Chains A and B, each alone.
Chain A
Amino acid sequence: MSEGSKVSTGGGKRRYAMVVDTRRCIGCMACQVACKAEYDTPLGVNRTWVPYKVVGKYPNVKKQFLPRLCNHCEDPPCVRNCPVEATFRVEDGGFVLQRYERCIGCRSCMAACPYNARFMLPSHRTYTPITNVVDKCTFCFHRVTQNLVPACVQTCIGRSRVFGDLNDPNSEVSYLVAKNATQVLRPEEGTKPHVFYIGKSAK
C-alpha cells in the first residue's frame, strides 16, 4: 500500500462495512480460499478465517460458523499503538491499511487487536517480496477502488457476506443493518467494528 492512499470520492465520505449473515454461511471456506488466492497468503496465517462451534443437543446438533476478518474499526487500537504509523485508517472509506515498507515488526498492533486479525508474514514467500511485516485484511482496498467487491464477498456461495457503503442509504449493507438485529464482536472494547453479524447466536 502506497503512503497516503485515498479512495477517490465523488461526494461525501464513504464508510464501507461488511455484513455477515451467519444463517446463510454453510462453512464451505470458499471465502478463505478466495482470500488466500487473492493475496498469496502463506500457510498458517489467514486474512479471513471461519471458525465454528457445535450447537444444539444430540442428535439435533449443527455447526455454527463465524467468519472472521479485520473489523476495520472506527477507533482502531492497532492504529493508536503503531509507533511509526505503519498502520493507518483511510478517512474516506474507513479502511484500516498497512504500509509494508514502514512496518518495523514490533507486533504492537497484533497485541492491540482484540480480534486477532493481524499476523506476521513469514520470511520466505514464493511469489511476493513482502516478508517479515505484519499483514491483515484490507477489505480488498485494491478491488473496492475499482468498483469490485472484496474477493471473499465475490465468492461467497450463500451470499452470507455482503459488502457496501454504510453511508449510502440505498446500499444493501445499510438495508441489512437497518432491518435486522445485528451484532459486532467484542463491543465492550469500544472499537466500533464495521463487520456486522446477523444471527450470531450467544448460545
Chain B
Amino acid sequence: MGDYVWFHDVSWHASYAVYFFVIGILAGLSFISYGSWRTPALRPLREKTAYASFVLLGLGGILLIADLSQPLRFLNILNPAYLNFTSPLAWGALNIVAFSIASIVYILALRKSDEKNGQLLALITALLALGLPIYTGFDLTVHQSRPVWNTPIMPVLFVALAIASGSAVGALLAAGNAEAQKVLREYMLWSAGAVAVMLVSIMGTTNYGGSAAELTFMIMTTGTMGLLFIGVGFLGGSVAPALMLFAPMGKSQGVVLVSALLILAGSAALRYVLLMAPQQLQTLY
C-alpha cells in the first residue's frame, strides 16, 4: 500500500466530525435528564437538558442532511423499500427518528408535569440516545480497510465521549449548583478516565498493527493531527481533566468548570482526528 501514488479525496469531511460532536452531547444530555429522575441533585437540570438535547438534535439533523450531496433525498433513508439493514447508517436513521419522537413526547410530558409517565419516557429517550453514539461508532467500525476505525472499541469510545461531553455541558448549565456539579464531576471523572484508557489502547493497537496501521499512527501523532489528538484530545481533553477532578481540589466549582471546558475541547478534537486521520493514508492508494 502506498507504492503507487495517486491522489484521492477523503470520503467524509470535517462536518461529519461536528455532527459526531453534537450527537454525543445531545446523547449525554439525555442521560442526565433521565438521571434527574433517579438522582435528586440533578433535578434542576431535568428540563434544561431535555430542551438542549432536542435543540441539538435539530442542529445535528441539519448538519447530517446538509452533508449529503443530495440533501433532498434524505427521505430515501426512511423508505422501507430502500432500507438496507446491513448498513449502520440505516439503523442510525431509524434511531434518530425514534429518538426525535421520544424526545417530543418526553418534552410534552415535562411541560404537562406528568410525573407518572415522565420517568418511563425519560428512560426510553435515554436508551434511544444511547443508540446514537453506538451507531456513529459502528459507522466507522464497519469499514474493514480503515485502521483505527475498524476496531471494536470505537462504539464504546463514542459512548464514553458522549457521557463526558454531555456531562461537561450539564456542568456548565448547572454553574452555581454545587449539588448537581458534585454528581456531574463523578460522571466527568470516570468517563474522561475511560476515554483516556481507550485512547491508549487504540494507540497501542494502531502502532503495533500492520504497515497501514503504523502509518496511520504516525499521521495521528505528528504535526497538526498530533497536536489535536495527543495534545488537545488525549492530554488536554481526557488525562488532564481526569487528574484535576480526581485531585483533592477537584471538588471545587472552578475546577469542575475548567474540566468541563477542557473535556468539550478535547472531545471535539478527538472526533475530528478519529474521523479524518484514518482517511488520510487511503487518499494515496
Contacts and interface: CB of A to CB of B under 8 A. Distances in A.
A112 B282 contact: no
A81 B279 contact: no
Interface residues of B, number: 37
Interface stretch (B85-93, B183-191, B248-256): B85-93
Nearest to B91: A83
A51 B4 contact: yes
B76 A104 contact: yes
Given A83-B89, A112-B142, A105 B73 contact: yes
Interface stretch (B143-151, B223-231, B239-247): B143-151
Interface in A29-85: 49, 51-53, 66, 68, 77, 80-85
B11 A52 contact: no
Interface string B266-281: 0000000000000100
Contacts of A115: 285
Interface string B63-76: 00001111001101
Contact of A106 (B6, B9, B68, B145): B68
Contacts of A133: 69-70
Residue of A52, A53, A80, A116 ringed by the most chain B CB atoms within 10 A: A116
B279 to A, nearest CB: 7
Nearest to B279: A111
Interface string A100-126: 001111111011111110011000000
Residue of A86, A106, A189 ringed by the most chain B CB atoms within 10 A: A106
Interface in B141-165: 142-146
Interface of A: 49, 51-53, 66, 68, 77, 80-86, 102-108, 110-116, 119-120, 132-133, 186, 189-190
